[in-house]
Amino acid sequence: MASEFRRTVRGMRDLVDGEAENLRFIEQRARKISKLYGYNEVITPLIEHYELLAAKLGEENRKRMFVFKDLGGRKVALRPEFTASVARLVATKMQSAPRPLRLFSVGSLYRYDEPQFGRYREFWQANYELFGSNRPEADVEILALTNSLLKEVGLKNYFFKIGHVGILRSVLSYNGIAEEQQNSIMQLLDKKQFDVALETAKNAGSSKSSLNTLETLLNIKGRQPDIVISEIYEAVKSYSKALDAAENLGEIISMLKAGCVDVDLSVEAGFARGLEYYTGMVFEVFVVDMDIAVGGGGRYDKLIGLFGGGQVPAVGVALGVDRLSLALQKQGQKSQRSEENRVLIIAIENSLLGQALKISNMLRERGVVVELETMGRSVSKALSDADRRGITHAVMIGSKEIKDNMVALRFMKERTQEIVPIERLFEKIGQ
């Protein structure tokens, strides 16, 4: 076989050397948070109809879908996110499920993004959606849940960038700019191409005063929410819908504060997201010194309607599991593997392998991670390999000690050894 076929496809990764474990650790914590907040897990297919996934994804993301025809000639795609699939569920099978409906998903997603640090073509998300409430407390729940998860995995030095698409869209709508054109402008804002965005708004029919307002909004941002919100009020005072949006954002932020949800907020009036379905509060989470978002979400009240499920307001978030793992590593968090005790059992003679198996199982039944020496190596070779692989304890079974129901227990880090009765092994190893 040609050597290029033995490489992973560009943008795809093999997760080895603890990477898979780190990913599963975050997944496990994400599942724990889903339970603590009452989100039920749903598993949706990896492949969906292209039209469903493409509906409100935004031009940039749409271009990056893995699209193909299945053998039945259907135009399908690999999911680039969970939201469309979960919204489909709510518009169909779960249409009559009692509201609010809280749903959690975790799994792999596919986007033909340009591979770089923290950007892959196959990546993982932990995704939470809350359906049925248009009230600010629902938005607050999603923000608080996100914060809980980040704390749970041990992330430090992160902040939430928060805005409200209603503010920008209301100003754009004021001069009758159609939704399609608004979408293009929002995409440009998302890519920080502010001048092109303003030029596009101008060409689409934005009046001079609306353009001025937009330009002002793009410069309103800061870490003191009260000040930023009052600046937004001032900027949009002649746009009643934008005022409503600013009020909604202000309410969400005050409720977060009242609930003592301790998050660093950077409020940005000109913050837009590439996904087109958002209708209200939007946010992304960034880690200081890392220029990529570890999560993002917001309110989308019209998607279920678009899928024929009636008016169902919704708000949600997706955390990038791979990026969280990268951020934790960068912050020096030890991999999960290194925290637990790992025991190697070595039978010094072949005739003691049965004993070795018995002791392995005894410890495993009590929750200890145990590996059995299966290479037939000498004790010294097995020990030096164990050292290299981060084994914390080695249990050596010799014919002399076993007669008295004893084994040699070696503490790898301390490089000490003692002879202990088998029934005290568990206690000696500790958890």
User: Can you give the binding site for ligand HAM, defined by CB under 6 A?
Assistant: 81, 83, 111, 113, 118-120, 123, 125, 127, 129, 275, 293-298, 316-318, 320, 322-323
Tokens 């309103």 locate to 220
Nearest of 391, 324, 382, 322 to residue 348 by alpha carbon: 382
Q: Provide the token pair at 6.
A: 């033995």
Cβ proximity to ligand HAM, 42 vs 370, nearer residue: 42
Q: Nearer to ligand HAM by C-beta: 239 or 277?
A: 277
Taking the complex as a whole, how short is the minimal distance between the CB of residue 48 and ligand HAM, in angstroms? 13
User: CB under 8 Å to 7, separation ≥6 — which residues?
Assistant: none
Between 200 and 325, CB nearer to ligand HAM:
325
Query: Which residue, 263 or 394, is less far from ligand HAM as judged by CB?
Result: 263
- Choice between 127 and 182, CB closer to ligand HAM: 127
CB of 376 to ligand HAM, least distance (A): 43
Least Cα distance to 314 among 44, 51, 91, 41 occurs for: 91
Least Å distance, CB 321 to ligand HAM, is 8
Q: In what order do the strands lie in the sheet with 393-397?
A: 369-372, 342-347, 393-397, 406-411, 416-421
Q: At closest approach, how far in Å is the CB of 24 from ligand HAM?
A: 16
Residue nearest to ligand HAM (CB): 320
> For residue 152, how many other CB atoms are within 10 A of its CB?
15
Strand 293-299 relative to strand 281-287, pairing: antiparallel
Q: How far is the CB of 282 from ligand HAM (least distance, A)?
A: 8
| Nearest-approach distance from CB 25 to ligand HAM, in angstroms | 16
At 298, phi and psi to the nearest 5? 160, -175
- The letter for the amino acid at 404 is D
Specify the residue, 67 or 379, whose C-beta has the smaller distance to ligand HAM.
67
**Which DSSP string corresponds to 118-177?**
TB-SEEEEEEEEEES--SHHHHHHHHHHHHHHHHHHT--SEEEEEEEHHHHHHHHHHTT-
